[in-house]
Amino acid sequence: MLRMASVQSDVFAKSLRCDYKQSDLLTYGGGQGGVPGELDKVCAASVQDLMATIAKLDSNGVQVVAEAEPAGPPAPSPAPPVHSSTDEPRADPNEDWCAVCMDGGELVCCDRCPKVFHQYCHIPTVDKLPDEADAWQCLLCVNFAELPAAPGDELPPPGGGLPPRQQRLVERLTLELYCQYEASLPFREAAQCGAAPRPMCLDAMRVKLQPRSPQRYTHVAQFVADARLLFRNAYAYNPPDSSIYKDAKRLEEFFDAQLLKWLPEYAYWSGEGEPPAKRPRL
Ligand SMILES: [Zn+2]
Ligand SMILES: [Zn+2]
């Protein structure tokens, strides 16, 4: 399923609401003396709504409740009751912001969870938009334990790379890391992670997930080793009380929890030396 869920549409809805109230008030007040003041008050309320929307951007998509109006002279009289379609409860269960970049725009909505994604933010990239009527499921909603085994699942593809099942698993783990939005922010781009002699960042790992990339992963251990390198760099080049260091700790703990779930033989492996021997799948 696809939709336009964006700041623009939200802002547009709110400005419409302001217009609606103005016309409503004119009907109630008949254009008499007190109306302009009432209009100002109602529009101020709408501006406050607008500010709450903008604040939502700044707080990474976390719902922000508009602060109470600062204490001031009491309002001369309550505004007449107005009704607006935007006051109705939301029927849309999906979030407003892309789970990876926390921005709006044209987003693909998961039909199984509240998450929405830009086509290029989801891993793997959503090449073709699903039809309006088609259900679409994000990779976070795939339960690998329930996936029936397909022939060739455990074999590398003819052109090289990871076997399909492992490819999906490392894509899932990478998407999970990006969706830890605040903790992953310092580790996304090469420019942020460039101080170490062997820099590593999430975007570089994402490139190696592309089946056509010359540096594509051919073994899960390479993927886990890159993630460990990213975390080691963060610990080596940042003081333990820095926010980057703490974010790395949080993200690595989360990463190990995900490994325990999906690739338990790699949980807590340092990423250096011999990769762990494969244990039977739990
Ligand atoms: Zn996005
Ligand atoms: Zn989902």
- Pair 136, 230: CB distance under 8 Å: no
Q: Does residue 146 register a pLDDT over 90?
A: no
Token pair belonging to 36: 């302009």
DSSP 115-128: -EE-TTTSSS---S
Predicted confidence at residue 144, as pLDDT, reads: 86
The answer as to whether 121 is a domain residue is no
Ligand 1 mean position, distance from CA 104 (Å): 7
**Are 165 and 254 in a shared domain?**
yes
Q: Look at residue 181 in the predicted model and tell me its pLDDT.
A: 97
- Main-chain dihedrals φ then ψ at residue 143, nearest 5 degrees: -95, 100
Same domain flag for 162 and 237: yes
Q: CA-CA distance, 184 to 248, in Å (whole number)?
A: 8
81 and 11 in a common domain: yes
Q: Which two tokens stand for residue 266?
A: 């790699």
Tell me, yes or no, whether 168 and 251 share the same domain: yes
Q: For residues 161 and 253, state if they share a domain.
A: yes
Q: Do both 252 and 162 map to the same domain?
A: yes
Q: Which ligand sits closest to the CA of 114?
A: 2
- CA-CA distance, 38 to 124, in Å (whole number)? 52
Residue 83 domain flag: yes
Q: How confident is the model at residue 1 (pLDDT cuts 50, 70, 90)?
A: low
**The predicted structure's pLDDT at residue 27:** 33
Q: What's the residue count for the chain?
A: 282
Q: Which token pair is 62?
A: 């976390």
Cα-to-centroid distance, 170 and ligand 2 (Å):
17
Note the pLDDT of residue 51.
43
Handedness of CA 79, 80, 83, 87 (dihedral sign): positive
pLDDT tens column, 227-282: 999 999 999 999 999 999 999 999 999 999 999 999 999 998 999 988 887 654 44
The answer to whether residue 27 sits within a structural domain is yes
Q: Do 157 and 234 have their domain in common?
A: yes
**228 and 164 in a common domain:** yes
End of a domain among 21, 56, 87?
Answer: 87
Residue ranges making up the domain that contains 257: 142-266
Closest ligand relative to 126 C-alpha = 1
* Conformational region of residue 44, where left means phi above 0, alpha means psi within -120 to 50, and beta covers everything else: alpha
| CB-based neighbours (< 5 A) of ligand 1, an ion | 98, 100-101, 118, 121
Residue 168 lies in a domain: yes
Domain count, the chain: 2
CATH number at residue 247: 1.20.920.10
Task: Judge whether 198 lies within some domain.
Answer: yes
81-90, 92-101, 120-129, 171-180, range with the lowest pLDDT: 81-90
Q: Is residue 132 part of a domain?
A: no
C-alpha span between 171 and 218 (Å, rounded): 13
Secondary structure letter of residue 197 according to DSSP: S
* Whole-number Å distance between alpha carbons of 185 and 171: 18
pLDDT band of residue 39 (cuts 50, 70, 90) is very low
Ligand closest to Cα of 179 equals 1
- Shared domain for 71 and 153, answered yes or no, is no
**How far is ligand 1, taken at its centre, from the CA of residue 180, in Å?**
13
Residue 198 Cα to ligand 1 midpoint, Å, equals 27
Residues 157, 254 share a domain: yes
Cα–Cα distance measured from residue 117 to residue 106, given in angstroms and rounded to the nearest whole number: 8
Q: Using 50, 70 and 90 to split pLDDT, how confident is the model at 91?
A: confident
Q: Could you tell me if residue 128 is inside a domain? A: no
Ligand with the closest atom to the CA of 122: 1
Q: Tell me: do 53 and 151 sit in the same domain.
A: no
- Residue ending a domain, among 87, 121, 152, is 87
C-alpha distances in Å from residue 206, one per residue of 10, 170, 172, 176, 187: 32, 10, 11, 12, 12
Domain end marker among 54, 71, 87: 87
Question: Is residue 13 scored above 90 in pLDDT?
Answer: no
In a domain, 122, yes or no: no
